[in-house]
């Protein structure tokens, strides 16, 4: 599949915009992602978080088969799973129309085998949205999936000042703003920015990361209430200090994910081959703020170690109780003229 054709080809009839999308610039989070304060503060609700096994970050990750080859000039950004409905999503920014904040959302149907003669992927086109900077959420809603993306960046800092939720509707153009879009700044009173989100399937939570002053906080919400713009009763709201990343070789966060008490964070920079990259993963226990494991150098099987011009990009979980318990990270690696998406999966748990 050549995504250049997908990205600049004719677009089908979609949702009409309420207003033209403004030029947008989004920045990748740097060091201080957990905030500059050395204090660690935890809400009482965090004690009720369900506990689940932690993935052993010291074990090599195996290649995860993506149903179709996914590549573009810039390469895919982040990814997310809806394990309940067996869907895998990639966010791919468009290099042709960057001023529109335009990216192509690719959805794979994992119920169909790789190489199936029937189409295993579909596209949705987003205008005026962020690229799912380091993370976006894919929340199951019955047979549907609701996705949450960063939107409305501050013109000076480039940090997103809101989140937008919408249903996965293949072959549709979706504009920000538009009808049918649930857009909100979850933190009351204003002042918060650098929003991003993920979905925790172990606790059925929409988890939001944001900055407020010199703090970076992780907050979990009921996804049904969030879809109605009700963020009044978070399940937990915790602040983390930057110490979890103090020893990381790279200070650039490339992805994050939450599963039960486990907060996983991916850092790293591009390198000539993946074997030379400084990609690392750390696991922080949300209940205590203490580091469970890491930062640990991300290891992959021999096939992945030879990826050329490799950029670690995206971290996610694939979890369905009794079926899947996987932590995956992405690598955008260059072919002769494009960047291709690669996923690597770890499922061995700490003893």
> What is the pLDDT averaged over residues 37-50?
53
Q: Can you give the pLDDT at residue 206?
A: 98
Local structure of 141: helix, strand or coil: strand
Residue 82 has pLDDT above 90, yes or no: yes
> What is the pLDDT averaged over residues 270-289?
90
CB-based contacts of 156, cutoff 8 Å, min separation 6: none
Q: Can you give the pLDDT at residue 340?
A: 85
Residue 28 has pLDDT above 70, yes or no: no
Q: Can you give the pLDDT at residue 24?
A: 42
State how far Cα 340 lies from the chain centre: 17
b/e map 216-243, b = 16+ CB within 10 Å: bbbbbbbbeebbeeebeebbbbbbbbbe
pLDDT in tens, 85-118: 999 999 988 766 666 678 889 999 998 766 555 5
State how far Cα 216 lies from the chain centre: 17
Q: Can you give the pLDDT at residue 26?
A: 44
The pair phi, psi for residue 66, each rounded to 5°, is -85, 130
Residue 251 has pLDDT above 70, yes or no: yes
Higher model confidence: residue 227 or residue 159? 227
Query: Peptide bond preceding 177: is omega within 30 degrees of 0, i.e. cis?
Result: yes
> What is the pLDDT averaged over residues 138-150?
97
Please give the angle made by the CA atoms of 135, 346 and 56, to the nearest 5 degrees: 100
pLDDT in tens, 62-71: 999 888 877 7
State how far Cα 316 lies from the chain centre: 7
Distance CA 169, CA 150 (A): 18
- Look at 39-43, 91-95, 167-171 and tell me which has the smallest mean pLDDT: 39-43
Q: Partners of 92 in the beta sheet?
A: 104
Q: Can you give the pLDDT at residue 104?
A: 87
Please give the angle made by the CA atoms of 330, 63 and 33, to the nearest 5 degrees: 25
Residue 9 has pLDDT above 60, yes or no: no
* Token pair 């081959």: residue: 273
- Look at 22-26, 58-62, 105-109, 206-210 and tell me which has the smallest mean pLDDT: 22-26
Structure token digits, residue 210: 């944001």
pLDDT in tens, 288-303: 889 999 999 999 986 6
Q: Partners of 262 in the beta sheet?
A: 259, 285
User: Which pTM value belongs to this model?
Assistant: 0.87
State how far Cα 236 lies from the chain centre: 20
């Amino acid at each position: 599949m050549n995504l250049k054709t997908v990205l600049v080809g004719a677009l089908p009839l979609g949702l009409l915009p309420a207003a033209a999308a403004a030029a947008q610039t989004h920045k990748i989070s740097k060091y201080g992602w957990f905030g500059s304060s050395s204090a660690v503060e935890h809400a009482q609700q965090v004690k009720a978080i369900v506990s689940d096994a932690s993935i052993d970050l010291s074990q090599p990750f195996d290649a995860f088969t993506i149903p179709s080859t996914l590549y573009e000039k810039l390469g895919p950004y982040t990814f997310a799973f809806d394990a309940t409905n067996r869907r895998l999503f990639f966010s791919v920014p468009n290099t042709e129309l960057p001023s529109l904040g335009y990216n192509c959302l690719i959805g794979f149907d994992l119920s169909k085998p790789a190489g199936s003669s029937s189409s295993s992927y579909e596209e949705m086109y987003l205008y005026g949205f962020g690229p799912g900077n380091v993370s976006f959420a894919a929340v199951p809603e019955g047979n549907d999936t609701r996705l949450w993306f960063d939107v409305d960046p501050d013109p000076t800092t480039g940090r997103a000042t809101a989140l937008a939720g919408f249903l996965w509707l293949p072959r549709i153009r979706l504009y920000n703003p538009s009808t049918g879009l649930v857009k909100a700044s979850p933190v009351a009173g204003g002042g918060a920015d650098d929003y991003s989100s993920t979905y925790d399937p172990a606790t059925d939570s929409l988890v939001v990361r944001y900055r407020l002053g010199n703090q970076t906080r992780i907050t979990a919400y009921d996804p049904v209430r969030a879809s109605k713009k009700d963020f009044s009763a978070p399940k937990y709201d915790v602040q983390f200090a930057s110490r979890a990343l103090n020893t990381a070789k790279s200070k650039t966060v490339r992805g994050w994910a939450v599963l039960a008490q486990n907060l996983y964070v991916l850092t790293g920079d591009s390198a000539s081959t993946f074997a030379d990259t400084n990609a690392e993963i750390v696991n922080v226990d949300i209940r205590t703020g203490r580091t469970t494991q890491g930062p640990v150098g991300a290891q992959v099987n021999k096939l992945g170690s030879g990826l050329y011009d490799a950029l670690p990009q995206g971290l996610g979980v694939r979890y369905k109780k009794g079926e899947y318990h996987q932590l995956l990270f992405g690598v955008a690696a260059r072919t002769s003229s494009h960047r291709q998406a690669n996923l690597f999966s770890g499922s061995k748990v700490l003893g």
